[in-house]
Structure 1
């Protein structure tokens, strides 16, 4: 039988005199651990939800990796690159690639009777993954984009619709300026999307890739580039290295040079900002662990002082300091364990409430989301529990040595 564990259970389950100082001390220590853990869990899940929500929106506009003409990566002008079936097959065959989709860009102006707006037309075809657009579609529908004919349909953002006072079903003229002339096309608004990412919402509208290629005057197998989706975002750099070795610096049949970049390289400011959020989480976790640790130290010292007579009796009966220390450390484990259970229940309860009700709202113009996003990551929560338990016990080892200074003879008269 584990003697320290047995005694610790007896002490913990002893209701005894409710006027004892140790009872509120135990409650405060338990509450300190619970609140600290709940705050840590909520902080981690909110930051993960926020980071992944913003990341997914940025990726939705440009996928994980873009393969383009090397000149297009170095300036704002549009340079075509050949993305034919053989190149698509090469890209699909690269390790870590899940999906390949072509796109073509064309700058233009949307004009109504009262206003006009310069935007980027992004041509997409039937191979394009439109789940992102569907998730952020506010009204209307996503047309079946074609790579062989022009339907003259547009999906614009809510920002564009508001500025030009357009709605689904309206028709609008678009003007495209080239070196030699100005081309005009009449489009019908098929859908309106809203991601709250102002930088992108005020820039991109979607149409057929066939239309964008023809407006650029390119060949049928030319386009602005290909967007690649990877199977595992955490291995993005490894996948890009494969693309660099297989595709980069090769020449297409028109003499253009292939190059690639990741979505992180294309939007360094956004991802650098998201990475800064990790620092906030570490600071919060450190503060909360300190709070839990100090409350546990205070509680343990009070319990040791109140149990001085018991410690003296155990020593008189032959118990070693090590045995008694282990007894009180086991007692601390019971308090911490109860605090962890309460903290998990409190933290997860609040997280699920926010996740399924959207109770706390945010200003999308500032935070890019309408409500506080939540991502419940069970492995992270388990790790936080384990780390909190280990650190809380570790900081109690030094205070437990107070037991070695308690002498049996003196403790018999201690009250």
Structure 2
């Protein structure tokens, strides 16, 4: 079988008839390369979307969130926190919070917001990643002022920056109470930007004490955020918490809170196998055409090889090897091209998205070796598969007729 690679190299480098075979070999490699690169880029973008959305959504909520039934304030939340720490394993952090809707007013504009009050010493560590100006210290300022952190999009609407003062209106929604707004003065101490307009446009962060005062909650919280060591256990932990605490506590997972969003992500992933198959089949069809052209062009040579003792298996091996080499070269080039384009986008963010629609302002990229392995394996497998027909036809060439008629 030592002649197989020699013949393969000779066929793929053929210069006869104006280099026609070399040209179609080039286009076969190019087709596989483009298909491979397209798949890697597609999978990297889909993976980036999923990872970015999950990271931001979980960061702005939690793995498990406990609230009161019908938004009932949680007056005994401290006892509940202690009970959770004692009874539920796998919890990495527990943070009580106050979350209510309100209005924020600057000298120029007024906007509806979602106010989230957290313990001053927690500083919402997740936000540190997205802080673009100022700081996250929510400690008291004195002089009747409270610190607040705004999203950059909201700050632009209000025409304010770090150091400016705003008014936040809070309305008590306790049953039977008169809906009288309370107004507190806040100083903007920090600005954050996630690229997701759902948060950047509406979420403001203040100290829990200020939020309790703003919404007339006394010492109560409106919810408890829980982070776990393993997010896949969120549903089981939520059920355990519900059984442990009972009414008026209601435990829900991030996947329940954002059911539609995660369903959309799941739908995108379901389409991936179909996209993979279509793109790679189209890309590797060029290999069939290339090998069939080689069979037609090299009929006399095939006849000579058969006449001097080459077996049908040997002839098949030649064309299977040619198909594999074409696929391998295309796959390597496609892997490099896909990686280069993905790295370029991840570094320089060349393409921008409307964050109101896509939850982020630039195309996210997640480079995972699993994607490269899967796409490469698929490309090489299809290259071999599409080589079977030309290899079978070449092996069935009659040596006498091939030598006589060419």
Report the counterpart of residue 183 of structure 1 in structure 2: 182
Distance in 1 of aligned mates of 2:75 and 2:281: 57
The partner residue of 2:118 within 107, 117, 124 is: 124
Report the counterpart of residue 353 of structure 1 in structure 2: 344
Report the counterpart of residue 225 of structure 2 in structure 1: 227
C-alpha contact 2:96 2:119 (8 A) present in aligned 1: yes
1:258 Cα deviation from its structure 2 partner? 2.8
Distance in 2 of aligned mates of 1:129 and 1:8: 69
> Aligned-residue CA RMSD in angstroms?
2.8
1:311 Cα deviation from its structure 2 partner? 1.7
For residues 274-310 of structure 1, the C-alpha deviation after alignment (integer angstroms, 9 at most, x for no partner) is 3333355444422320222210110111112222122
C-alpha contact 2:66 2:223 (8 A) present in aligned 1: yes
1:41 Cα deviation from its structure 2 partner? 0.7
Report the counterpart of residue 35 of structure 1 in structure 2: 34
Distance change (3 Å), C-alpha of 1:362 and 1:112: closer
Distance in 2 of aligned mates of 1:400 and 1:371: 47
- Structure 1 or 2: more helix by fraction: 2
Distance in 2 of aligned mates of 1:327 and 1:57: 53
1:37 Cα deviation from its structure 2 partner? 0.4
The partner residue of 2:157 within 144, 155, 163 is: 163
1:96 Cα deviation from its structure 2 partner? 4.5
C-alpha contact 1:175 1:185 (8 A) present in aligned 2: yes
For residues 7-60 of structure 1, the C-alpha deviation after alignment (integer angstroms, 9 at most, x for no partner) is 455435755547353211211111111111011111111221123223322222
The partner residue of 1:265 within 237, 253, 256 is: 256
TM-score, with length taken from structure 1: 0.85
Structure 2 residue runs without a partner (length 5+): none
Report the counterpart of residue 375 of structure 1 in structure 2: 366
Distance change (3 Å), C-alpha of 1:53 and 1:145: farther
1:218 Cα deviation from its structure 2 partner? 4.6
C-alpha contact 1:37 1:340 (8 A) present in aligned 2: yes
Matched, 1:292 2:283: yes
Distance in 1 of aligned mates of 2:357 and 2:234: 33
Matched, 1:401 2:392: yes
TM-score, with length taken from structure 2: 0.87
1:172 Cα deviation from its structure 2 partner? 2.1
For residues 131-184 of structure 1, the C-alpha deviation after alignment (integer angstroms, 9 at most, x for no partner) is 4322323332211458xxx97111122343233332221222223233244432
1:16-415 matches, within 5 Å, as 17=16, 19-69=18-68, 71-72=69-70, 77-80=71-74, 82-84=76-78, 87-88=81-82, 90-91=84-85, 94-113=88-107, 115-126=109-120, 128=122, 130-145=124-139, 152-178=146-172, 179-180=177-178, 181-218=180-217, 220=219, 222-233=220-231, 235=232, 238-245=233-240, 247-251=241-245, 256-279=247-270, 281-415=272-406
C-alpha contact 2:323 2:384 (8 A) present in aligned 1: yes
Distance in 2 of aligned mates of 1:307 and 1:210: 85
Partner SS, residue 365 of structure 2:
coil
Distance change (3 Å), C-alpha of 1:3 and 1:230: farther
